[in-house]
Structure 1
Amino acid sequence: MSKALFCPTCRKVVLATDPDFPFCSDRCRILDLGKWASGDYKISTPVQDPDDLEELARSKTHRPNSGDED
């Protein structure tokens, strides 16, 4: 039995076996992509993965100076 979800764009029921899953159509997929590209969607939760945070901290401390030292 196929799992059914709702299309994130238009809320129609979509089966996991549908070719455009999780969207109901290519049109809904493109509309969703456009919202990401225009900044309508944002990931507002900060990174919580300790490995990613550690790597970010390392990259900030090892960044070469920009030459603006006074």
Structure 2
Amino acid sequence: MSQNSTCPVCGAPTQASTRPFCSQRCADIDLGRWFSGQYRIPGPPADEENLEKPEINDER
């Protein structure tokens, strides 16, 4: 990585300890975006027949 890298979240210069981000705050923002589904990896639509269905335990 070059010395003049910028944070992908805010555009500030990166810090070695949190690279590729400028701070832990921006790293946490990026992680939150992944968890919320804002970032997605493109691919074909999921076939609903092949999705796993949750198991239901009828025993009481």
> Does TM, scored on the shorter chain, surpass 0.5?
yes
For residues 35 and 4 of structure 2, the distance between their equivalents in structure 1, rounded to whole angstroms, comes to 27
Greater helix share, structure number: 1
Which is greater in Rg?
1
Which residue of structure 1 aligns with residue 58 of structure 2? none
For residues 14 and 24 of structure 2, the distance between their equivalents in structure 1, rounded to whole angstroms, comes to 13
TM-score (norm 1): 0.54
TM-score (norm 2): 0.62
State the Cα RMSD in Å: 1.9
Structure 2: stretches of 5+ with no match in the other structure: 44-60
Deviation at 1:6, TM superposition (A): 1.0
Greater strand share, structure number: 1
Structure 1: stretches of 5+ with no match in the other structure: 47-70
Matched pairs, number: 43
Stretches of 4+ aligned residues off by more than 6 angstroms = none
Equivalent residues in 2 for 1:1-70, closer than 5 Å:
3-14=3-14, 18-44=16-42, 46=43
Counterpart residue type for residue 17 of structure 2: P
The CA deviation string for residues 6-40 of structure 1, in whole angstroms up to 9 with x for no partner, is 1011011225xx11110000000000000000000
For residues 19 and 4 of structure 2, the distance between their equivalents in structure 1, rounded to whole angstroms, comes to 10
